Each structure stands twice: as structure tokens, then as C-alpha cells.
Amino acid sequence: MVREIRITPSILNADLTNVEYEIARIAAQSDLIHLDVMDNIFVPNFTFDFERASGIIKACPIAVDAHLMVADVDLIAPAYAEVGCSSVTIHAEACKEIASTLRAIRKAGARAGLGLKPATSIEEYADFIDEVDIFLIMTVEPGFGGQTFMHEMMGKVKRTRAIIGDRPIWLQVDGGVSLETIAEASEAGADVFVAGSAVFNAEDPAAMVDSLRNLASSVAQ
């Protein structure tokens, strides 16, 4: 079975003073919009508080994929599902009660994602597989857009693909995904691709989303 490829542009490096316009530029070509929520505690950067994020989520014309890079994520995560995100990803390193938080996200109607920083092993969290709809393998240290793709994460992506087996779980990569790196990640088994600077620094962001999808699809098995 050929995997379905999904592209989810991150608006982190778009013009955040004009979010609705930036989303409108790429919405028709994109599967989801990736919303990076950072609290300046779990990562050394701040993006949106819940109120601002809620406004963006409610106004977004396509599904929103929230990536919560916040400490003590257990309480706030279900609220992102309740406000309308189609998927909510928490970080294993930031969560106290992983299983119950993933269940609460699902109960509120969203896909539940478990994200892992580069140094965190997938094997340590494989037992949560029945509570998970998305595994997110970070291909940069979370915190900033525009960083270099960590090729050394491809072994972890392959091992995660093997753990997922036939389950309908998405395998997302985030960080440094571009025309130079997306085929390698797709070959390793990823099927959901976050791309921030590659899309929004492109002359034609919508065409870039199409190009990324075509490249990832061409090597997907």
C-alpha cells in the first residue's frame, strides 16, 4: 500500500502580523496548517498564548495541526482540541501523564500526537502506541525555524515506521524539511511533513507545497 503523503506548512517563519493572509496563500495546496506553540519555558522562544492561538485556529480555513512545545502540557492540550484543532501533539519530555493526556485529546475530538526531541528514543515510548494517532520525530531541536535537518534522525524514523506497522498512525517529521531533504525522510518512512522556511521563503509558497508533496510521493512506498 502506498502511503498517503500530507504536507503541513508551519507558519512560524511567516509574517505573524498577517497570519490570515499567510495561511490563505497556501491553504488550497496544504493538508493541514502546523501551529507551533512555544512558551519560552520548554523551548527558548515564545510564539502564541492560548488566546491568540485560539483566534488563529477558529479563523483557519483548513485543519490545524497544533504542535505544543510548552511545559506542563497536560492541562492545556485538551483545550487545543476543544477549540477546534484536528490534531494536537504534545512532547513526551513535557508531559507528566502521557496516556491520560493523549486520551483526553482524543476524547475532545482531535488526533493525539506524541512528539520526541532528537535525543529522546522512540523505544522508550513505543508502549503508548495504542493511545497515539501521530508520532512526531523532530529533525531539529525544537524552538526555531530555519535550522538544519538532522539526517541522523532517519534511523529513528525507520524504527518508528517499523513499530507502527500496519496501524493508521501518522509519522510526522518536523524541522529543516525542504526540497533537499524531504525525499530522504519519505524514504525512511515519514508520511506527514512539516515545512516552515522552505515554504514561506519560497517565491511561490503554494507551488512549493506542491513540489514538496510530489517529491515525497515519488519515493513513498
Cα–Cα dist 92/151, whole Å: 21
Cα–Cα dist 90/71, whole Å: 10
Q: Is 49 a catalytic residue?
A: no
**Rounded to 5 degrees, what are φ and ψ at 140?**
-145, 170
Positions touching ligand DX5 (CB under 6 A) are 10, 12-13, 34, 36, 67, 140, 142-143, 145-147, 174-177, 194-198
Q: Is 166 a catalytic residue?
A: no
Q: How far is the CB of 10 from ligand DX5 (least distance, A)?
A: 4
Residue with cell 531533504: 181
Helices 73-82 + 50-59 axis angle, to 10:
30
Region for 81 from its dihedrals, namely left if φ exceeds 0, alpha if ψ lies in -120 to 50, beta otherwise: alpha
36, 65, 133, 191: which is the annotated catalytic residue? 36
Q: How far is the CB of 127 from Zn ion (least distance, A)?
A: 24
* Nearer Cβ to ligand DX5 (145/205): 145
**Pattern 26-65, binding to Zn ion, x per CB under 5 A?**
----------x-----------------------------
List active site positions.
36, 174
List residues near Zn ion by CB under 5 A.
36, 67, 174
